[in-house]
Every structure is written in structure tokens, then in C-alpha cells.
Amino acid sequence: MSRATEWKERAREAARAEAVELELPSGVKILARRPDPIQLAAWGKLPMLLAAAAMGSQNATPPSMEEAAEIAGLYRDVLVYCCVDPRVSLDPQGEDEIHPRDMCETDWRFVCHWGLRVVEARALEGFRRQRADAGDCGDGKAVLDKTF
């Protein structure tokens, strides 16, 4: 066995060890894992959706064609990374691999949103908007000033 083959096999074993069973909207159950911030950084992406939601930022501007292509590439990378069993591949080699085009849109979107923690980010957006009582910046300075 070559070193590259051994390395790939160990990576597959590690992926299975961290995977959880995930039920998709279609009812299919797969083994999936989520990329952590380090993995996203390795792809040149950071979990900016979570950061933006936590800060209350909302970008209503539609993405440019370049940004849309970048988002599509990220979704592809996330889909391939997240799906452990069956594996998602752009060049399926066997029965245990599936091409993204063979998945229904609701399923692949669900996997990508799960992998990127979109639901959690949306929950933070609502939390940040409800903080009307934070005063000036929410740092407690206004309260401290009133006590002296």
C-alpha cells in the first residue's frame, strides 16, 4: 500500500469516526460531518455567516456573478466534505458514491446549510435584533456613568 493510499484510508476512517446520522428532507439517512472553522479556513473561507449574524450585520445586496460562482464552489466543497456515507463525488467510482446532480435540491441544500450552520446563524440574527435595551453599544458604560 502506498503512503498516499494509506493516508486516504486513515482520513476516511477519521471521517467515519466523527460522522453523525443525518436525516435529509427526502427521508434518506446518511452519515455526515461538519467542517470546523479550521477546515473552512483551509478552503480560504471563514464562517462569516455566523460572525455576521452575531454582529447583527445584514447584507441585502445580491451577489455578483463572481461571488455567486464562489458560493457555488463553497457549497460543492461543503457537500463533498460533509457526506461521509454515501460519499459525494464529482467522479463517482462505485455504488457507495453519488454525484451531486443525482441528489434532489432540497437534500443538497439541507446538507450545505447544516454543514455551514445556517440555522444557528439565523437564530443569532433574531437574538441580535431583539436587544433593543442594550443602550449605547451594550457595554454597560451608560449604566456605570449613571451610578457615579
Model confidence over 60-106: pLDDT tens digits? Answer: 577 788 877 888 888 899 999 999 999 999 999 999 999 999 999 99
Model confidence over 122-137: pLDDT tens digits? Answer: 776 665 555 555 555 6
Backbone angles phi, psi at 28, to 5 degrees: -70, 140
| pTM value surpassing 0.75 | no
- For residue 55, what pLDDT band results from cuts at 50, 70 and 90? very low
Domain ranges of the chain: 3-147
| Number of separate helices (H) and strands (E) present in the chain | 7, 5
Of the candidates 72, 71, 78, the one whose C-alpha atom is nearest the C-alpha of residue 116 is 78
